[in-house]
Copies of this chain bind each other. A is one copy, B any other.
Amino acid sequence: MSEEPSEPVAAAGPPSDRARLRRKPRRGFYDATTIHEILDAAIVGHVAWALDGQPYATPTNVWRQGDRLYWHASVGSRMPRAVDGRPVCVTVTHLDALVLTRSATNHSVDYRSVMALGTAHLVTDDAETDEALEALVEHLYPGRWAQLRPMTAPERTATSVLWIDLAEASAKIRSEGAHEDAGDETWPAWGGVIPLRMVRGEPEPDAFVPDGMPAPEVRLP
């Protein structure tokens, strides 16, 4: 999201040609640890898919199980059937800071993102659906699944669960702060970094929560 020149560094894995970062390769990471860390901090991702020649970017909860990235949709939506067995891209982006410089061009943002390319698979097995939805709940609220009213068969069939393999995923991280062109430093404008972060507000319990029951802990990006 900015335009300064890049210097290649060694990547930790062998990316596919289309997953490889062509620009600013020093920002590209292909190791599982980096990719998993970014994905595991996500609440929402965007799934790119196409129907009748029109691409769509659909926001949805995403979560990882091992080497697979999962997302879900209602069985009533078009996406699950349209993408099953077809190529998709699931992208997770965490915005970390605004980067301000004295020139318009060198403005940027610090961020962490993962782009996963692969074939979408629609889960059809009941046990696998249960396991995936449990993993989603545990991803957002560790320990919560066991506290919930058990899922019913109609509830299970109302949700479509999909996944892609993470074999063709790449991470991109910018955390460099501000870079000025030589001579710009003395221009009389503010330069530097403004950090951004997602925070939890005060939990709003509904009328049925007993006195003293705390809200679940939440994982934030």
A103 & B148 in contact (Cβ 8 Å cutoff): yes
Cα separation A44 to B221 with both chains bound (whole Å): 15
Q: Is the CB of A193 within 8 A of B204?
A: yes
A97-117 contact mask (Cβ, 8 Å, vs B): 1 or 0: 110101111010101010101
CB distance from A65 to the nearest CB of B (A): 16
Check B218–A190 contact: CB distance below 8 A.
no
**CB pair A148 B208 closer than 8 Å:** no
Kindly list the 5 A-B residue pairs having the minimum CB-CB distance in the complex, ordered from nearest.
A195-B201, A48-B57, A48-B55, A57-B91, A46-B46
For window 48-68 of A, CB contacts with B under 8 Å fall at 48-50, 53-61
A77 in the interface, Cβ–Cβ < 8 Å? yes
A194 interface contact, C-beta 8 A: yes
Inter-subunit contact A100/B55 (CB<8 Å): no
Contact (Cβ within 8 A) B198 A196: yes
Q: In the complex, how many angstroms separate the beta carbon of A77 from the nearest chain B beta carbon? A: 6
Which residues of B sit under 8 angstroms from A111, Cβ to Cβ? 44, 59
Q: A105-B155, A184-B149, A200-B195 are in contact. Are A46 and B57 (CB under 8 A)?
A: yes
